[in-house]
Amino acid sequence: MAEQNFDLIVVGGGPGGYVAAIRAAQLKMNVALVEREHLGGICLNWGCIPTKALLRTSEINHLLNHLDAFGFKAENVSFDIAKIVDRSRKVAAQLSGGVKHLLKKNKVTVFDGTGTLDGVAGGNRKIKVEKDGKPVADLTAKNVILATGARARQAPGMEGDGKLIWTYKDAMVPKALPKSLLVVGSGAIGIEFASFYHNLGVDVTVVEMMDRVLPVEDEEISAFARKSFEKQGLKIRTSATVKDIKKAADSVTATIETQGKTESITVDRVIVAIGIVGNVENIGLEGTRIKVEKTHVVVDGHLFTGEPGVYAIGDMVGPPWLAHKASHEGIIAVETIAGMKTHAMDVTNIPGCTYCMPQVASVGLTEAKAKAAGHEVKVGRFPYIGNGKAIAMGETEGMIKTVFDAKTGELLGAHMIGAEVTELIQGYVIAKNLETTEAELMETIFAHPTLSEMMHESVLDAYGRAIHF
């Protein structure tokens, strides 16, 4: 098989890989992209996008159950879970097709198969591409970007079986709606599924081994979220572990230990969402200088692996496991390869979003981490109940919290819970990226009536100047 030469080979077509390929093509590189399954990766096909389609459906169902508050009346409203799932899959397919179009438009050559590092020849990296054990192509390039992503972490004794114990993929395509559900793990994935199924009427219990739900978030936001979830009817067990699982024909009995106390609950289905594992096996890392720690490839701030000509991006290089982080890493890697001046990845400028109800979003340091890092802080808060637009929307549950360095006025972090905070957070991300202080934020004019006014009020509150609270 004749070798095909490129300037850059990208292994993996997810939100990191396909963005890297397109950016390289913009910089006039001849680019090959190797993808074994779905263009768009997990995010577009089995993650970010289809889950948001499902959550949109559950939000609509939630509103339908509260029509009277808005002056409406409807009787015998029902839903079809098959149609809900079908819509989600069509949304994913539409966007995956869009990625295919973008790659074609940018003249990126796409290879369908699994790419493996296969040594060096004449100063070029070699990539072997196979599909179902059969050779597809032999590729060479001076530089390679690995973007193979990650997969769900399996818990011993709770391995996904596609029937009673679900992975995130199973949870997105239920053939029928269970009456009861146990969700193991309360990170973004676990809480989003808990919120989706609960809003469709499922009896949901969440088990989290840490002492709070959404453990990466600010403690105050986590506490607010738990109170809100329990008010809705979600059952939550923190500082808890699943000690035993017993399967029956169409149900599962779980033994849960919470701070020394044991209880057994029987549910129709279990979703396990306890983190992810990097896809670092069988891609030719053996014999290279590439280091793997805790299933993730070690890279520097510009995504270089230490192996000449090889970069790695996205979920395979570790947390935060976010599509937008992967995309940005792809651009940093490509522009570094192109010899452009690039900034190293700063994880404190990466926003995190959880699309549960209420939504949660954040950027930068939590109050606790800011103090632990030695900062003297000023903290501002503003509740949704004090905002006119939130009241008009019927969305009065939430708060916005900002953390500043007391000496310099630097915005250290912003933490939000409530309606549409996943859209609002970008204002703080821009401010943080521009190294804005409280002075500029206080002088900024926010439109009225908007939810974003609460962002302004939270800043003002940090300095004792809040107007509406």
Question: One of 302, 343, 448, 456 is an active-site residue; which one?
Answer: 448
Rounded to whole angstroms, the Cα distance separating 400 from 30 reads 46
- Residue 448 falls in the annotated catalytic set: yes
Q: Report the Cα 325 to chain-centroid distance in Å.
A: 9
Residue linked to tokens 């933490």: 415
Q: Give the residue carrying structure tokens 């409406």.
A: 72
Residues in the chain: 469
In the chain, count of helices (H) and strands (E)? 13, 24
List the beta strands (DSSP E) in 153-260: 165-166, 180-184, 203-207, 235-237, 240-247, 252-258
Q: Where are the alpha helices (DSSP H) in 106-207?
A: 168-172, 188-199
Q: Are 62 and 68 in contact (CB under 8 A)?
A: no
Between the alpha carbon of residue 22 and those of residues 5, 40, 101, 297, 460, the distances in Å are 18, 13, 11, 23, 42
Residue 291 is encoded by which pair of tokens?
């280091």
Kindly report the backbone phi and psi dihedral angles of residue 356, in degrees, each rounded to the nearest multiple of 5, phi listed first: -80, -170
**Distance of alpha carbon 220 from alpha carbon 174, whole angstroms:** 34
Hey, which residues are catalytic here?
448
